[in-house]
Amino acid sequence: MYDVHAIRKDFPVLSHVVYLDSTATTQTPVPVVEAMNEYFYEYAGNHGRGAHRLARETTNRYEDAREKVAAFLKAEPSKTIFTKNTSDGINLIANSFPFEAGDQIVTTLIEHHSNLLPWLRLQKAGVEVKIVKPEGPEGLITPESIEAALTDRTKLVAITQVSNVFGSVQDVSKVTKIAHKNGVKLLVDGAQSAGHMPLDLSALNCDFFATAGHKGLLGPQGTGVLYIKEPDLLESASLGGGTVSEVEGLDYVLEPSPACFEAGTPNIPGVIGLGRAIEYIEEIGVSEIEKHETQLSREAAARLSEMEHVEVYGPEKRAGVIPFNVCGLHAHDVALILDQSRKICVRSGHHCAIPSIKFLKVGSTVRASFALYNTEEEIELLIKAISDLKALVA
């Protein structure tokens, strides 16, 4: 049975705030922090750079974390790259994929800037970017609209699995099949899906999958994961220590994946912490987490929608993300009032997705987002607080 109150004991900060900003970053459970502390206190060394016992222990723990992450995502360890975050992984693809002038990239209007700006910058090199719009304010991209955008020049489709603005869940499986049918590679931004829902990258068959360690995966900031189905297709734009097996004169030979994509000393304690976070999620069950989060968010969205002074955006069948506005109040003011009067932490602004906000024809939104540790009681506190704001706009 899902015991949210037992889970909350591993997140001490929740004892004095109502935290509804997990789309930006989740809180980190105690066992993950303890695993990171253990690295510093008991065996801190560098990864892959020594024969002594501390270096060996560090390397073993780091690669154990890779095995755990890969198994969790149903991916091969050799194709599982550690990055700083989702943005870092997507930029690695943008800077390493063999694009040529005249090629085309198809992406969507609902993307986080991390899955938009790297592609827009490639326009300077003569690459065309085509942006597909959602069908309506629910923020859903139909696979058919992606297919209609493809041409014989399209090399890559880049799409988010779960929108951080709308909470909409895209049919990336169908989009992958459409892309491959047309000889096009597919990149999935999984920043808001990994850890929030079951994933099977081997079945999904996408070419690239980027996600962050510090969101649904419950790891620390500064960690991320990039899956590359065909590593030999790319040559990393970032080279240095640990990426080469031989240097002779003016030539060099790269190490095989994943080493060739991980230049320099990585975030060793962060990756070790991420490995422990994966264990933590598996102990609870990602399917149970998904069920808990979607139940909370859909209940909260339905109740907010009943208030005449509140406008809620996104689909009815949403992930754990609720964007809304209180009529007559700026989103930042709502967030500050909730924080200062009720210790409720929500996000406000454009959520690093300005095109999505413009599509809604608003300047900003308030965003409440849920994670495995949120409760029905916290929904009640949010609903009461938003209801009380009616007095300010009457």
Q: Which residues are catalytic?
A: 352
DSSP 349-390: E-TT-HHHHHHTTSS-EEEEE--TT--HHHHHHHHHHHHHTH
- Sequence-separated (6 or more) residues with CB below 8 Å from residue 250: none
Distances (CA, A) of 152 to 157, 173, 238: 13, 21, 30
Residue 324 tokens read as 């809304």
**CA atoms of 80 and 91, how far apart (whole Å):** 16
How far is the CA of 384 from the CAs of 19, 68, 316, in angstroms?
Answer: 16, 41, 21
Three-state SS for 305-333 is: HCCCCEEECCCCCCCCEEEEEECCCCHHH
Catalogue the E-assigned strands of 93-184.
104-108, 128-132, 154-160
Torsions phi, psi for 300 (to 5 deg): -65, -40
CA dihedral 185, 245, 261, 178 (to 10 degrees): 10
AA letter at 112: H
CB 188 within 8 A of CB 159: yes
